Structure 1
Amino acid sequence: MPFPAVMTMTDEAAARVREIMSREEPPLAGLRVGIKKGGCAGMEYTMEAVAEANPKDETVEHEGARVFIDRAAVLFLLGSRMGFEVTKFRSGFTFENPNQVSACGCGESVELREAAE
């Protein structure tokens, strides 16, 4: 029985990833999601466009969209769901993460714990 994906994507997130992937010539391989230390809560999600997959990354695909998960971030992202929202004041990717302990007031950083195995 295959293991579940590290992270899932909403249809809205997949549409935005596909749009970003197709804007480049040649098209991008996908987006890489990671975690870095920073912000007032201690950690921040990172995203970068990538032309080529890193063989050490986990790959999540949904409706033609491809997201690579940085190996160092896997335990912090297990069970997460990546979304994309547009509001009156901002648009961007969102993360529903069961490993999130808290978030800063400005919403730019989070405190994460590694997922229990």
Structure 2
Amino acid sequence: MITVTQSAATHIQNFLAKRGKGEGIRLGVKTSGCSGMAYTMEFVDEIQADDLVFEDLGVKIFIDPKSHVYLDGTQVDYTKEGLQEGFKFENPNVKESCGCGESFHV
């Protein structure tokens, strides 16, 4: 299961409204960074046949089956701290992450 906070849901809905199209967002992982994996997030205009679909607070979240293994149980939040703002992932599967927070290892 993948969930979003109210703050993340509001930002995602606003982004989709500004675009004027889109089914939701796609979360995934890619090989990157010093810890091995990094999160990916993009808009979904076309649903893939093997997509897993979760819906929370009015937001549809699409994940490919391979990424789901690493993301199951993740909560997506949107935070603003000082001059930095953006999406934050609370992933219970992460064993360690790099110092800059850009990549993780499960």
TM-score, structure 2 normalization = 0.92
Contact 1:17–1:66, Cα closer than 8 Å, also in 2 = no
Contact 2:2–2:61, Cα closer than 8 Å, also in 1 = no
Query: What is aligned with 1:65?
Result: 59
Which sections of structure 1, spanning at least 5 residues, go unmatched? 1-5, 113-117
CA distance in 1, matches of 2:63, 2:55: 11
CA distance in 2, matches of 1:10, 1:108: 20
Letter in 1 for 2:41: M
Q: Which portions of structure 1, spanning 4 or more consecutive aligned residues, are displaced by more than 2 angstroms?
A: none
Which sections of structure 2, spanning at least 5 residues, go unmatched? none
Q: CA deviation at 1:56?
A: 1.2
Aligned residues: 106
Cα-to-partner distance string for 1:87-116 (whole Å, 9 max, x where unaligned): 11211111111110101001111112xxxx
Letter in 2 for 1:13: A
RMSD: 1.1
Q: CA deviation at 1:55?
A: 2.7
Is residue 20 of structure 1 aligned with residue 15 of structure 2?
Answer: yes
Give me the identity figure in percent: 37
Contact 1:101–1:110, Cα closer than 8 Å, also in 2 = yes
Q: CA deviation at 1:70?
A: 2.0
CA distance in 2, matches of 1:41, 1:77: 16
TM-score, structure 1 normalization = 0.84
SS at match of 1:68: strand
Query: What is aligned with 2:78?
Result: 84
